[in-house]
Every structure is written in structure tokens, then in C-alpha cells.
Structure 1
Amino acid sequence: MKTTGTRRSLAWLPVVWCLTRLTLLLFVLKVYVFPGPDVTSDVQVIYQGWYGVLRSGTFPLEDVTWQYPPAAALAILSPGLLSFLDYATAFFVLVCVTDLVVLALLVYAGRRPGRSPRGAWVWVIGVPLLGPTVYARYDVMVTAVAVAALLAGARHPRAMGALAAFGALLKVWPAMLLLAARRGSAWVSALVTGVVVAGASALAMPGAFAFLTFQRDRGTEVESLGALVFHVARHFGWQGEVRLNYGSIEFLGPYVQEVSTGALFLTGAAFGWLVLWRLLARRLEEHTLADAAFVAVLMFTTTSRVISPQYMVWLVGLAAVCLCFPGSRMRMPVALVLVACFVTVLEFPLYFASVVASDGLGLTLLFLRNGLLVAATLIAARALWRATVPTALPAPRPARPAVTGETPVSS
């Protein structure tokens, strides 16, 4: 019975995937117009502009919106592989193909003994919940590398290390996948891959690490957790402003630097908690690698001073890997993340004007989405700690001394 149910579940996966992904393609290709701001402008204007600069043999040194590690150039240049299509169309097609590759990896993992197809369903359902934005950014490509790394982790630690390092050079956050790596070979492989790819990038084109200096003057992005302070403060006379800055809509003005510093402090505290967990964790099971990666990236995303909508696809990908393992403790946090994905598409792009205006609807959506992320983070961290860190056993009570002079009971 269980096998039959699994087969039926897997049989429906490609049908639902095709229907939802066709809908996403129709929106990004503008056959149908999705309400709100045009989410494809990043590809048609920014990415395509970078494409021209990168093809000339240098990184975008004069563009402060280039805030990505050097391997990101590969994602930006990849539409050149489909030269018979215009840049934007080629990019959307490649993201869709990458999406399909992730599904194939999750289906393959879910069919193995002792695994579950739930992970594949999380991916199929979670991605379209984010709306067309998810196909108009290169984050699906990064997530594909992260999913492959985690699925390889148990049996092929060297492959996992190499993929995690390559992912980190695409967009930094996949470095956290190594948090629960059990074997030193994963770290050695990651170090070698990182040095080789970073070195090759630096030698190939100037400006490979200019991105490190392009985020120093950023404000607090309007969708982040810290931004809630200013959304509320605007109703009490706060004199700052909202404007496009460093590629995103940010709050600028009094106390923004302090709130941004607070966000960095929270991220540092989360990192400290993760280090402490790694030192104390003892009960590491097959699913712990994925659970720990999910918790780490969830902490990083929630405490960041920028929570762009496409960041949510990172969480969807890692959540999908977690639920490939029936023993995962992340079911409730995964459910909360999926609900947060739906709220995310409401706040961007559908009602983004309300978010920027800090009106009642915008505040409600942001408090709900960020509240869901905070709840998911706390529940996930608690579940990971309780599952892996042994509790101290109470000291055994001393044996009760025999009372002298007692007369034994005769039988």
C-alpha cells in the first residue's frame, strides 16, 4: 500500500511541475502580466548590462549593484549558450531547465530506500508560491548547486565540499552547508575548490573581489526584519526616506546605521549559536546535515538587513532536501516557510506599493511574513538542538545503607 501511494505521488509530480512552471514562464515572458512592478527588469536591464561588461573581459567595477562573488559571472554569462534567443528569454529558459534538474535530483533521492517523495513535493509547490520573481533572478541556479551538495553529502563528502565551495563563490550562503559535515575530506575539498575557482577568476578578469567593498554604505532594505522599526516609526514622525539604493529599495536616514548594526549583531549571535551547537552536537544522523543547513540559512536570512523575495527559494530548496528524510525534525518549520513564501508574493510584487508606503496592508504583510520566518527559525533551532545535543543525566542516587539490627523476615 505504501509503495502504491508513493508511485501515485511521484506520478503526479511532473504534471503539477509542468502546469506551474508553464504559468511562471508565461508571466516572465509577458504573455500574461503579473500585477505589481515588473520583476523581469533585473534580467532585461541589469543582468544584460553586466553580460556586456563581463564579455569585455572585466567584472563590473563601476557598478555598485554588482555585489556577488566571482563565480556569479558564469550565471550571468550562461544565456550566451542559447545564442538563438534574446538574452532575457534565454535566461528564463535556463532557469526553468535548472528548476527541472533540481526536481530530478529530489525525485531520485526520494525513490531510494528509507527516503520520502515529500521533498520533491516541497520544491514543486514552494517555487511557484514565490511568483514570477523566482524565474527572474539567478538564485534557482545557486539553490540547485546547494541541493546537489546536500544530497551528495552522506556518501560523497568530497563532492559535497566541492559543490558547497562553488556555490559559495556563486552567492556566499552555500558555505553554511558545511556546518555539519562529519568528515574532514569535505572541508579539504571545499578549500581546494574555493582556492582554485577564486584564483582562476582573479587571473581571468580584473575586479573579481570588488563586490566586497560595494555593500559598506547600504541601508536597511524595506522588507527586512529591521525595517519594521522604520515602517512603524514613519507613523510617528521619523524623518528618513525610502529610495532605490545599491539595487534595492532601502530606508535611509536617522538611526538606520544603528538598526543595520543591530541586524549584523543578530547575525553574529546566530553564528555563535551555530558554532556552539556544532561543538556540543553528538547525535548526528543521516538527516542532520540537511537539517543543520536549513537552520543555518534560515537564521542568516531572517537576521539579514536585506530579505529579498528570491532569498526564499534558498529555504525552499533546503527544506525540500530535509523532507527527503523521514527522520527530519523540520516539518513544522518547513510548513511555516511555505506559508511565508505565499505571503512573500503578496508583499512583492502584488502589494509592494503598500509596503513602500508603510500603510496598513503593507505593515500587516511584512509583520506576517517576517513573523513566520522568526517562528520557523526558533522552532527549527530548538528542534535541531534537542535532537542532537545530549542532555546531562542526573547523578545517580547513592544506595540506601542497610539498617543494622533488623530481623529478617522468615519464610
Structure 2
Amino acid sequence: MTGARGARFPYPLVGAWGLTRLMLLLFVFKVWIFPGPDVTSDVSVIYQGWYEVLRTGTFPLDDVTWQYPPAAALAILSPGLLPFLEYTSAFFVMAFLADLVAFGLLLYAGRRPGKSLRGAWVWVVGVPLLGPTVYSRYDVMVTAVVVAAILAGARHPRVMGVLAAFGAMLKVWPALLLVGSAKRRAWGAAAATAAGLALLFAVSMPGAFAFMTFQRDRGTEVESLGSLVFHIARHHGWEGQVLLNYGSVEFLGPYVDLVSTAALLLTALAFGWLLMWRLLATRFLAHTVADAAFVAVLLFTTTSRVISPQYMVWLVGLAAVCLVFRGSRMGLPAGMVLTACFFTVLEFPVYFANVVGSDGLGITLLVIRNGLLVAASVTAAALLWRDTVSYAPQAELPAQTARAQEPLSS
């Protein structure tokens, strides 16, 4: 069967999405039991607790695990749109629908002239590689907004700005979408939307920005790049602890502040590199917004004090959007991200006890996963630089050169 443009409908792609998502639903609804700790407990315990508070018209001011911008309340409240289901089941359905929206957008964009279905394949493969965690966190909802924003950006920069700002009010990182945008309309729309939403939440719900004070005393999360220092140090007499702190399992003890500060410095260096790139870039192509966003989020994720498994869905979504554009050169780092997703599901939840225990298997999984993220970050940054800063200008045709050398008068 062919579509209006004569292209065959991608039945294998759609079928693969359907089968893999059925598998994820069977896992989160516990028809099948996924190995490792129950990753759905955050929904039934933490998210549902926040839901009950948010329904009263205020944010969970006394809960230090609430560390999200105010529009995150909309994601937590979204299961209320399905009142015929209990909260946990409704949340899984909403996550599934967000996944479907992202896939539909990638599929539609990939079938347009000059585009590719590679991006949709990245999404189809990458999401299930992360296991049931994807449907047990609201990050897939944020990623769907980001996919829509970037795909809209080429023709509708104001729409991209609005969606980027809305995404940033959901979970901050979508603000990085604007790094590669050369259109003032996108920046203006983003600023106006962010200001409007901030004012709306500040006036209507007490404690909208209390989350900003809950990040200062965090340690180094056990899956982060910096955590490898303490995983190894535990075998050489380091006297710290591994504790549940601010909603994640972190190292606490001697020198943790030093490593956390080093992570912040790396993040600052990443920001400095992005700023330098933005000032020096002279060529902005159709795929530059997507490529730059992918690089920016890679850099900030890799250098963060916390690399939670659900962060990987951000990278999968951005890699997918990059590869929708035929001109994007992010195929290699996208492949590294997909491989890192496989090792992510192994370190959490399958072998998370080994990670927390800092044994040989746990350390090996983290070294591979985090090493892949570092390699992807460096490779993607180099490709972006080469594509926009140090690219070789197209050589002039011989006839053009000859005409340019002719004297103005004979």
C-alpha cells in the first residue's frame, strides 16, 4: 500500500513499535515481572502522594524530593484525565500516549520529502532498551514536547519557542533547545511563554519555585560519572556511605563535596564551550537546531551529579529528531546512546544491587555506560563544530573563478 507521495507505508516500523510497547505495558502492569527492584513504585508512592497534595492547589512544600519546575504539576495531575482508572494505571496509560505522540510525530516527519525514517527507528529501538522505567517516570511526556518543538522549529519558530519554554517549565533541560536557534522569533516566544507560565503558577499555587532550594545539599548519585571515584575508593578504605538522599541513592561522606564541585565545574566548562560554539558558528542548516540540542543535553547529562536512568529517554528523543534530517551527521553518537541505553537497563534495575554494592560487575557496567556517554558527547560536539564552524566552504566552479579574475575593463 502506498501513500499520497508514493512511498510505501512502513508496516515493519509500526509493527515493531506496537510489539515493543505491548511488552513495556505488560511489564509495568506486572503481567510479566522485570528483573531487579520494582521501578513502578515511584508512581504508586511518590507521584500519587504529590498528586494528592497538588489537587489541593499547592505544591508539596515540605517534600525535598519535589525538585521540579511548576509545570511538572501538570504531568503529575494528568492521570486525573482518566478518572475511570486508578492513579498508577492511569499514569502508565498517559506515559504510553506520550510515547505514541512522539512516535507519530517522528513517523510523520520522516515520511516527508528530504527527511528520513531513521529517527523513528531510533525511538522504536531506544525506548524499550530502557525497560519499564520509561513508563514509570514523566520524562517521556517531556520528551514528546521536545520532539514536537524541534520538528516545528523549521517552519514555525514561534511554536518551537512556546513548546521549548513549556518543556523547560516541566523539567528545565528543554531550555537547551534554543541553543542552536538563530531565529529571534523563537527566543521571543520562549521568553514570553516562560514569563507568563511563571507568573501564572506563582500567583495561583503557593510554593511554585520552592524546588530551587532543594538541590543545594545533594551528594553524588551512584550512577553518575563522578561516582566512579567512590565506587573504586570503597575498595581502598573510603569511609563514606551510600544512602537514599533527596529521592536518589547517593554517596555521602569525605570528599563527596569535592567531587560534586568538580562535576559542577565540568558543567560550567560545557556551558562555556556551548557559548563559544554559538559565537563562532557561521552556518545554520535545517538540522542544526536538533544537533545542537542533542550535543547540549549530552554534555549537561554526562557532567551532572545525577544520571538517573530516565535521563536517557531525553537523549533517545533528541537522537531520533536529529536523524529525521538526512543531513545530520549524528548517526555515530546516536548509536553510542542506544548502546548506553542497553547498559543502563542492566545497571538499573537488573543489577542495581551490584552497583550500590560497588562490586566488580556494578563498576564495570557503570564504566561502560558512562564511557559511552563521554564518547558520544565528545564525538557529537566535534561533529557539530565541524558542521557549523570549521566546515570547508564549497569550492567555486572553474567558470566562476575565471570570470572573477577577468579585468573590469579591457
1:260 matched residue in structure 2: 260
Q: Which residue of 1 aligns with 2:272?
A: 272
Partner deviation per Cα, 1:361-380 (whole Å, 9 max, x = no partner)? 00000000000000000000
* Gap change, CA 1:111 and 1:391, over 3 Å in 2: closer
Q: Does 1:169 align with 2:169?
A: yes
Name the structure 2 match of 1:69.
69
TM-score, length of structure 1 as denominator length: 0.93
- Aligned counterparts, 1:1-400, within 5 A: 7=7, 10-390=10-390
Query: Partners in 1 of 2:25 and 2:225 — Cα distance?
Result: 31
DSSP 3-state at the match of 1:242: strand
For residue 13 of structure 1, report the CA deviation from its aligned partner: 1.6
% identity of equivalent residues: 72
Q: Spell out structure 1 runs of 4+ moving beyond 3 A.
A: 6-9, 390-393
Residues 202-257 of structure 1: per-residue CA shift (max 9 Å, x gap)? 11110000000001100000000000000000000000000100000000000000
Q: Which amino acid aligns with 1:166?
A: F
CA shift digits 1:41-79 (9 cap, x unpaired): 100000000000000111000000000000000000000
Instruction: Tell me how far apart the structure 1 counterparts of residues 32 and 7 of structure 2 sit (CA, whole Å).
Output: 34
Query: Partners of 2:59 and 2:376 in 1: how far apart?
Result: 37
Pair 1:379–1:87, CA change in 2 (3 A): same
Question: What CA distance in whole angstroms lies between the structure 1 residues aligned with 2:335 and 2:54?
Answer: 40
Q: Secondary structure of the equivalent of 2:310?
A: helix
SS at match of 1:244: strand
Q: Whole-Å Cα distance in 2 between the matches of residues 54 and 326 of structure 1? A: 43
Letter of the 2:281 partner, please give it. A
Cα drift, residue 8 of structure 1: 5.6
Secondary structure, counterpart of 1:309 in structure 2: coil
SS in structure 1 of the partner of residue 10 of structure 2: helix
Give secondary structure in 2 for the equivalent of 1:101: helix
Task: For residues 280-324 of structure 1, give each alpha carbon's deviation from its aligned partner in whole angstroms, at most 9, with x where no partner exists.
Answer: 001111011100000000001000000000000000000000000
Q: Separation in 1 of the partners of 2:392 and 2:135?
A: 48
Aligned residue-pair number: 390
For residues 245 and 341 of structure 1, the distance between their equivalents in structure 2, rounded to whole angstroms, comes to 24
Query: Aligned-residue CA RMSD in angstroms?
Result: 1.4
- Cα deviation for residue 390 of structure 1 reads 3.3
Q: Quote the Cα distance in structure 2 between the aligned partners of 1:42 and 1:8.
A: 42
Is the 1:9–1:117 contact (alpha carbons within 8 Å) kept by the matching residues of 2? Answer: no
Secondary structure of the corresponding residue to residue 59 of structure 1: coil
Contact 1:283 1:390 in 2 (8 A): no
**Residue 84 of structure 1 aligns to a residue in which SS?**
coil
> Normalising to structure 2: TM-score of the pair?
0.93
Q: Is the 8 A contact 1:282 1:390 kept in 2?
A: no
CA contact (8 A) 1:24 1:131 kept: yes
**CA radius of gyration, larger in:** 1
CA distance in 2 between counterparts of 1:392 and 1:11 reads: 40
